[in-house]
Amino acid sequence: MEMKPLTRAVLGLICLLVGIWLVAPTIVVAPMSFNGVKSLAFPPRGFSWQWYENFVTSPDWSSSFFNSLKIACLVAILATVLGTLAAFGLDRMRARPANLIRMLLLTPMVVPGVVLAIGIYAVYLDARLVGTLTGFVLAHTILALPFVLIAVSANLEVFDKRLETAAASLGAGALTTFRTVTLPLIAPGMLSGLLFAFATSFDEIIVSLFITNPYLRTLPVQIFASITRDADPTVAAVGTILLCVTTVLIGGGMLLLGRERRGRS
């Protein structure tokens, strides 16, 4: 159906406004990170790299960055292994119990973060896990697991199990079949799950705020602490870096998922 020019113009305008509204907070951060003066006022005045310099040289910032990196890497690996195993188990179970367990595993996506945080904090106090690497990795893995489960399950759904029968007829035992047939074919799902898991951990703030202590801070916690203390544009620099990293990761993950879907249809 042909659209009237006026309708088209109005529709375009609305789309533009919504678009600006959605990305405005994001595009505000980047210019502020190059602020010439120590202020978070918008628009920024002048231009300088000093806040990026500060991020790299200040021990507070760099140590929290490396904490986050370390935790996110461990979480990505742990969540990918566990999530893949869970996806396999559920795929090979009868539908009813499988759906129930799947819902259970996906609850961290639905339950309000703060509720989870309180629960985890309460348990961690007793278990002496507050402010520990183990504590962060375990907590973030809970949050990251659903992403891996979803990505690998989607991949398993299109995986043709009859290929495993064919491999057996050609002489491959269960392990060899997994290594040479199943794994290569679900690798895209696992990789996209891994990227999502990494990103989830890397920018997680709610639970982290509860289980952090002065000795172990992640980057988002450091940002939060800094911004509540003073108006340091370093947070904008860090935010911009975070933005770039997560965009690349999530974009990569989505691309992998999308290609997998298209490739098999």
Least Cβ distance, residue 168 to other proteins (angstroms): 4
Least Cβ distance, residue 199 to other proteins (angstroms): 27
Does the protein bind other proteins through residue 92 (CB under 8 A)?
no
C-alpha to C-alpha distance for 237 and 29, rounded to whole angstroms: 8
Q: 241, exposed or middle or buried, with CB in 10 Å at 0-12, 13-18, 19+?
A: middle
Does the protein bind other proteins through residue 265 (CB under 8 A)?
no
Nearest CA-CA partner of 110 in 135, 141, 146, 150: 146
C-alpha to C-alpha distance for 155 and 141, rounded to whole angstroms: 21
The smaller minimum CB distance to other proteins, of residues 20 and 166, is found at 166
Positions 153 through 192 that interact with other proteins (CB under 8 A): 160, 162-163, 165-173, 176-177, 180-181, 184-185
Structure tokens belonging to residue 14: 């609305």
- The secondary element (H helix, E strand) that includes residue 203 is none
Least Cβ distance, residue 151 to other proteins (angstroms): 18
Least Cβ distance, residue 156 to other proteins (angstroms): 15
DSSP state, residue 265: -
C-alpha to C-alpha distance for 77 and 73, rounded to whole angstroms: 6
The smaller minimum CB distance to other proteins, of residues 154 and 181, is found at 181
Instruction: Lay out the site mask for other proteins across 205-244 (x = CB under 8 A, - = otherwise).
Output: ----------------------------------------
The smaller minimum CB distance to other proteins, of residues 137 and 181, is found at 181
Please give the single-letter amino acid code of residue 176. Answer: T
Does the protein bind other proteins through residue 53 (CB under 8 A)?
no
Least Cβ distance, residue 184 to other proteins (angstroms): 5
Does the protein bind other proteins through residue 145 (CB under 8 A)?
no
3-state class of 173 per DSSP?
coil
Structure tokens belonging to residue 251: 């974009």
Least Cβ distance, residue 178 to other proteins (angstroms): 12
Nearest CA-CA partner of 234 in 61, 45, 43: 61
Q: Which residues pair with 216 in a beta bridge?
A: 213
Taking residue 210's Cβ as centre, other Cβ atoms within 10 Å add up to 19
Does the protein bind other proteins through residue 19 (CB under 8 A)?
no
Nearest CA-CA partner of 30 in 223, 246, 249, 237: 237
The smaller minimum CB distance to other proteins, of residues 143 and 167, is found at 167
Least Cβ distance, residue 192 to other proteins (angstroms): 17
Query: Could you list the residues that contact other proteins (CB under 8 A)?
Result: 160, 162-163, 165-173, 176-177, 180-181, 184-185
